[in-house]
Structure formats: C-alpha cells, structure tokens
A and B are shown apart, each in its own frame.
Chain A
Amino acid sequence: MRVMVLVKASEDSEQGNYAAHADEFAAMGKYNEELLKAGIMLAGEGLAPSSEGKRVAFGEDGGTRVIDGPFAEAKELVGGFWIWQVSSMEEAVEWLKRAPFKGTSVELRRIHEAADFEGQLPQEVLDAEQRLRAQSGQQP
C-alpha cells in the first residue's frame, strides 16, 4: 500500500527562513536516507513558501478567481510531503514516529488504488479518469 505523509508549514518555512534550522535540515537529511535505504520512499518534496503560491477559487457557477499568496495560518498549510510504500498503516506510523519533528502534527493518508472505486463509480467515469492520467503523463 501507498501512503502520503502531509507535513505542515511553519512560520519559519513560510518566511523562507531556513538558515536558523540547519540542524533540523541535517537530521531530516539523515532520516530521508534511512527511508531510502529501507526501500520505502517513492517520492518526497518540500514546498516553497505560500508567498509564491496561488489559489484559484471556483464560484458556484464554476467561474474562477485567482488569489495570490501568502496565505494566512501557516499551520494549516502543507509544507511538504512524502509518498511511501509500506506494508500497513501501522508500519507507516512507526516510520513516522522516527522522524525528527518537534511541535507539530503530521498526517498520514492512504492513497487510493483503482480497486477502491470499482463498483462504486460508473465505468465511463473510471475510463475518463484514466484517460486524464494518460494525458497528464504526457509532460516529460
């Protein structure tokens, strides 16, 4: 199974103030290496401050409006993520407990597999979804 690990932004990550956290960066680098050497890490990235971000708001009529960052409430923003391949949610929890975080909460969510939708959505919808994925894969 695959899980996504959602890490929250902090005041400092929102400011792009990384210099003060050199030790944490080093600890996180070591942790990432452990994930790599255990063969469970499929992907992982940190996100730039929301001041570089955009939001697109959709009205009830489907109309759109673009909102520029930064966005308020750093602790409600996603600051980074991993995708792990693990044998169970318990294993993901045990891995996450080893991460060098302090004063935050980190969320684990199972990633849907195609089989989760079978029988719940009409086949045409599933097929359209798959076509979409094929197209998104066209970008190199």
Chain B
Amino acid sequence: MSPEGAARRTVEAVWRIESARLIAGLARVTGDVGLAEDLAQDALVAALEQWPASGVPDNPGAWLTSVARRRYIDGVRRQVSFERKAQEIGRDLAEVADPMDEIEFDAHVEDDVLRLIFTACHPVLSRDARVALTLKLVAGLSTEQIARAFLVSTPTMAARVTRAKKTLGAARVPFEVPAGAELSPRLASVLEVVYLIFNEGYAATSGDSWTRAELCEEAMRLGRMLAALAPGEPEAHGLVALMEIQASRIPARTGPGGEMITLLDQDRGRWNRLLVTRGLASLARAVSLSGSEVSGPYVIQAALAACHARALVAADTDWTRIAILYRILGSLSPSPVIELNRAVAVSMADGPAAALPIVESLADDPALRHYHLLPSVRGDLLSRLGRTAEARAEFERAAAMTANAAERAHLLRRAAACAC
C-alpha cells in the first residue's frame, strides 16, 4: 500500500472512531445537526489534506475538534462582521471570541452521542432517511459506503442525507434525549432503525453481497452503543440479544452451493458461540431489568431466538415455550405472520391436528394473500396428517407464489412426494 493510501485509511479509521462524538459535540454547541455535520466534514477534509504529510497527530480527536470549532467560530465572526457596522467589529470580535473559548466541546460527550442517535432517528424523518442519517452521523460511514450497501447511487444517497438534515432543521427538532411519555415511542423509533439496518444486512447474507452483510455488524455495533449509553432500557438489551443470536447463525445459513439452509436444518456447530453467549447474556440483562421475559417486542423476539440458541440439536427445541412466546408477541402487536409462526410452533409441540385450525383461521386474511408460506405451512400440516391430495395442492399453490427459484424447487419436490 502506498504511504498516501495508508494515511488515508488511517484518517478513515480515526473518523470511524471520532465522528459521532465530534458531530454530537458540535450539534450541542450549534443546536443544528446539519451544520455540525458540515463542520465535522470540513475537519475531515483538512485531515485528509494534512495528515498524509504531517502524520497523524497524537490526539486525532482533539485535532479534528479544534479544526471544526475554529471553522464554527470563523463562521460566527463573519456573520457578526456582516451584521454590524465597521467600527464596532473590533469590540464585537472580542466579545464573541471569548465566550467561544469557554465552550466545552468535550463535556458530557456521551450524553451528546445519545442525543445524536435520537435526533437521527426522529420520527419527523422517513424510515429511509432515518437509516441513512444514522449510518452517516452515528456509525461514521461515508455516503459512498451507505449507497453501496443500499444498492442506490451515491448522488441519490447524498440527496437523501441532505434532505434529511434540512427536514430536521425545518422542523426545529431539538437536540435532546426525549423524556417522560415521549421517551418510549422515540426509543421504539431508534430500535426500529437499528433493526432495519440489521435486517437489510441479514437478508443479504445468504446471497453474495458481502458489503451488505457488513450492515449486520454496523447494526450490532449501534445496538451495543445504545445499550451502553442507555443501560436502563430493557428493550435496547433485548434488541442486542436478538441481533447477536440471529447473527450467530450466519455461518450456518448457506450451503456450499450458496443455497439457503433453514434454521432446523442448520449445522448448529457452525453457529458463532461467542455471539450466542453474548446474546443470551444480553437477554438475561434485559430480563433482570424488566423482571420479565415478555416485557417488550424485542425482548420477546430475543427470548424466541434464545429457545433455538439453547437447543444444541433441533430436536431439543422447546416448542411449547416458543408457541407461548408467539402468542404473547401476537397479543402485543397482532399480525397474521406471527400467528402463522405460532401455528408452526404448536404443530411441533402438540402435533399437526392442533395447529391446523390456527392456519385455517388465517386462510382469508388479506395480508397473507400473496404469502407463499401460508399454503406451504398448510401443506406441511396436511401431509403430516396423511391428507396427501390436499397437501399436494397446497405445495403446488405455494410453489406458484414464490419468486425464489430454490424455494420453488423445494416446494415442488414436496408436492411430488405427496403423490407417492
């Protein structure tokens, strides 16, 4: 690697470490996240220009902060001189410059980062905008990296980020951690953004898109940050647990030919044990904070994932517990997909006859009209009950509904097996 390339990579590494704190500190001082990000970017550009020649300073974070802070003060000075008469400038400069030196850019920096997370995930923004802004401001990713991960062009992503910053400014979103009754829905918005990022990566890990798979790591990092900055929130720990347990399965999800391997068929020896252990520990923390394994949707989903993680072989899975957890999850946020998952768990715990009525009750649900897993699950239950002709029809229906070639082949094989 050339010395310039090495220096550039070092600047990028420092940026990854420092940017959230830098932007958050500037946002508290300026009260404007958009301006804070612009000032921080100026400091990044200065570092990219100077560090390759001068070397990385001993305290790169302080260096970046002082450059950004100087830009800000210069900007305020220019504004002052523009607004005041020429003879007053000297006095005003002195008045303005002094208080600037008093500003504590480093004070309460962790509170600032938490404020930054809540601001980037503010509900005034669309989901796409929240995701983009969080990756940009909090995770320290470049616009190019985010664009690549979300399969859009860099100018499109840049426009999305700019628009989001403008929206925050126009809505006069205060730079703060919400309190009281506002906290719960705002925290839900933050958790949703982090989990969206995770799922964007998780959905891609079965394919060949390596850069998208990195989103899982970013999301886990954000989740851990959040859990460390807001350690009293059970749902934050629940989300970390859910992501870590799901991510532990990534090495086992794909076969040698790149095909998807379902949970029950995975070689559990390939699961990442460190992530399983960490996930179970995070779940335990969430449970000890809330006193319950069913306190919120992320804790419940983590508890569900933990039922699989604890079973060393698929046959050891506690399906009764899974069925109960799905019932509770469904009562918190009713969804036919959750109900279908519950039916599968009931069929594993109590047999297909107990599960069939649940699936039948979903037959007319408009939300599942194009959902191939409904006929697929129904076909499975019918075939286990020996009703092969009906089962075959369901598998064929499911095969016609899925866009995934591997899945279609699998369903057609099952349909053919019913004929024997």
Residues of A whose CB lies within 8 Å of any CB of B are: 36-40, 42-43, 83, 85, 87-88, 90-91, 93-95, 113-114, 123, 127, 130-138
A134 and B225: CB pair below 8 A? Answer: no
Residues of B whose CB lies within 8 Å of any CB of A are: 9-10, 12-14, 16-17, 60, 110, 113, 214, 217, 220-225, 228-229, 251, 256, 267-271, 273-274, 276, 278, 312
A90 and B251: CB pair below 8 A? Answer: no
A90 and B17: CB pair below 8 A? Answer: no
**20 A-B residue pairings within 8 Å (CB atoms):** A37-B113, A37-B225, A39-B222, A39-B224, A85-B220, A85-B221, A90-B9, A91-B16, A93-B10, A94-B13, A95-B17, A114-B251, A127-B267, A130-B270, A131-B269, A133-B270, A134-B267, A134-B268, A137-B269, A137-B271
Assess A39 versus B278: contact at CB under 8 Å? Given A90-B12, A134-B312: no
Task: Tell me, rounded to whole Å, the shortest Cβ–Cβ distance linking B144 to chain A.
Answer: 14
Q: Per a CB cutoff under 8 Å, which of B217, B228, B270 touches A85? A: B217
Bound-state CA distance A138–B224 (Å) is 26
Other than A88-B13, A131-B269, give 18 A-B pairs with Cβ distance below 8 A.
Answer: A36-B224, A37-B228, A37-B229, A39-B220, A39-B221, A39-B223, A42-B274, A43-B278, A91-B16, A93-B13, A95-B17, A114-B270, A130-B270, A133-B273, A134-B267, A134-B269, A137-B269, A137-B312
In the complex, which of the residues B113, B225, B228 has the most CB atoms of chain A within 10 Å of its own CB atom? B228
CB neighbours of A93 from chain B (8 A):
10, 13
Q: Per a CB cutoff under 8 Å, which of A39, A83, A127 touches B225? A: A39
Bound-state CA distance A98–B225 (Å) is 18
Bound-state CA distance A83–B278 (Å) is 12
Bound-state CA distance A127–B269 (Å) is 9
B17 and A136: CB pair below 8 A? Answer: no
Task: Tell me, rounded to whole Å, the shortest Cβ–Cβ distance linking B263 to chain A.
Answer: 15
Q: Which 10 A-B pairs have the closest CB atoms?
A: A134-B269, A39-B224, A90-B13, A130-B269, A39-B221, A39-B225, A91-B13, A37-B228, A94-B13, A137-B273
CB neighbours of B221 from chain A (8 A):
38-40, 85
B14 and A94: CB pair below 8 A? Answer: yes
Q: Per a CB cutoff under 8 Å, which of B12, B217, B256, B273 touches A136? A: B273
CB neighbours of A130 from chain B (8 A):
267, 269-270
CB neighbours of B270 from chain A (8 A):
114, 130, 133
Bound-state CA distance A135–B268 (Å) is 10
Question: Who on chain B is nearest to A123 by CB?
Answer: B256
Task: Tell me, rounded to whole Å, the shortest Cβ–Cβ distance linking A27 to chain B.
Answer: 15
Bound-state CA distance A137–B311 (Å) is 11
CB neighbours of B256 from chain A (8 A):
123
Bound-state CA distance A114–B14 (Å) is 28
CB neighbours of B225 from chain A (8 A):
37-39
Question: Who on chain B is nearest to A130 by CB?
Answer: B269
Question: Who on chain B is nearest to A41 by CB?
Answer: B224
CB neighbours of A94 from chain B (8 A):
10, 13-14, 17, 60
Task: Tell me, rounded to whole Å, the shortest Cβ–Cβ distance linking B78 to chain A.
Answer: 34
Task: Tell me, rounded to whole Å, the shortest Cβ–Cβ distance linking B363 to chain A.
Answer: 40
In the complex, which of the residues B13, B229, B256 has the most CB atoms of chain A within 10 Å of its own CB atom? B13
Assess A88 versus B217: contact at CB under 8 Å? Given A36-B224, A37-B225: no
CB neighbours of A138 from chain B (8 A):
312
CB neighbours of A37 from chain B (8 A):
110, 113, 225, 228-229
CB neighbours of A114 from chain B (8 A):
251, 270
Bound-state CA distance A91–B224 (Å) is 17
A137 and B276: CB pair below 8 A? Answer: yes
CB neighbours of B222 from chain A (8 A):
39
CB neighbours of A90 from chain B (8 A):
9-10, 12-13
Bound-state CA distance A133–B251 (Å) is 13
